[in-house]
Amino acid sequence: MPRVPPPQQQQSRPQSPPPEPERAERWRPSLMTIAFAVLLFGGLGIRAYKDLSTPEAWSYWKDLYVSPSMSAEVIDNLDPDKSGRGRKALAISGKIGAASASWFRDQVAQAKLQPGDIVLMSSPGGNLSQSMIMGEVIRAHGLTTAVGTADADGRIKPSYCASACVTAYAGGKVRMGIEGSRLGVHRFSSPKVRDDAEASAQRTMGYVLTYMTKMGVSSAVVEAMSATEKIRWLGASEASTMNLVTDPVRKS
């Protein structure tokens, strides 16, 4: 019988692996990207730490963003002269803090005060530079200042404005006197300068004199400030003579 050759085995061809299912591309940051991000955010963190590392900076941020040292209330119908024509007022109270000027500017804007409206103050004082900026804001808006608080019916009750509060009060285009309310003054000095306290006090009082003169207040009030380190309460007639109070004392 003829030999039948065995069937030849077909050589199998290598098959390409099946395509993987499509997957969404993932962004894989490179080492350079990671290093840049670390440097960037690390630098910002260090800068923020430096910005808040001083007591003055922390006081400012705390007063502006965390817990303002002053409070405010809008009164729509305040009638200090009992004329029957109420006026809008912004009643502010509390210690003047490291960021009170920015806070006060925002309060004035939110209250939409118009020239002739009243800023009613009750404060023991505080930061001198902030108080003078507050006074500048008051003058720029043509507002009237008075010392006191207000009850639920819009009636003014006597209060006090001492130390740095007096410079803010001086910013009023009209400065009302309220019966029973008090204005207290004393000498200012810079706490940052310890080696020459007398020279520091003279420079600071020079700034106050320039400011008070600009606001139309007699230099006699600065002389009264310079004469004592403790609060001196001005009498009603004395405050009027100094042109610190420009409107007659009004009964509460």
pLDDT tens-place string over residues 184-195: 999 987 665 555
How large is the angle between the packed helices 128-140 and 100-111, nearest 10 degrees? 20
Q: Determine the structural domain holding residue 109 and report its residue range.
A: 70-250
Tell me the pLDDT band of 155, cut-offs 50, 70 and 90: confident
Name the CA dihedral angle for 82, 88, 92, 96, rounded to a multiple of 10 degrees. Answer: -110
pLDDT tens-place string over residues 33-44: 554 444 444 444
Q: Is 53 a domain residue?
A: no
The residue-averaged pLDDT of 151-164 equals 91
Residue 24 CA: distances (Å) to CA of 17, 21, 27: 20, 10, 10
Q: How many Cβ atoms sit within 10 Å of the Cβ of residue 134?
A: 30
Q: Confirm if 184 and 164 have CB atoms less than 8 A apart.
A: no
In terms of pLDDT, which residue wins out, 12 or 251?
Answer: 251
Would you state the structure tokens that stand for residue 156, as one six-digit string?
């003014």
* Number of domain units in the chain: 1
Greatest mean pLDDT among 10-24, 47-61, 71-85: 71-85
Q: Beta strand pairing status for 232-234 and 174-175? A: unpaired
Return the CATH number at 221.
3.90.226.10
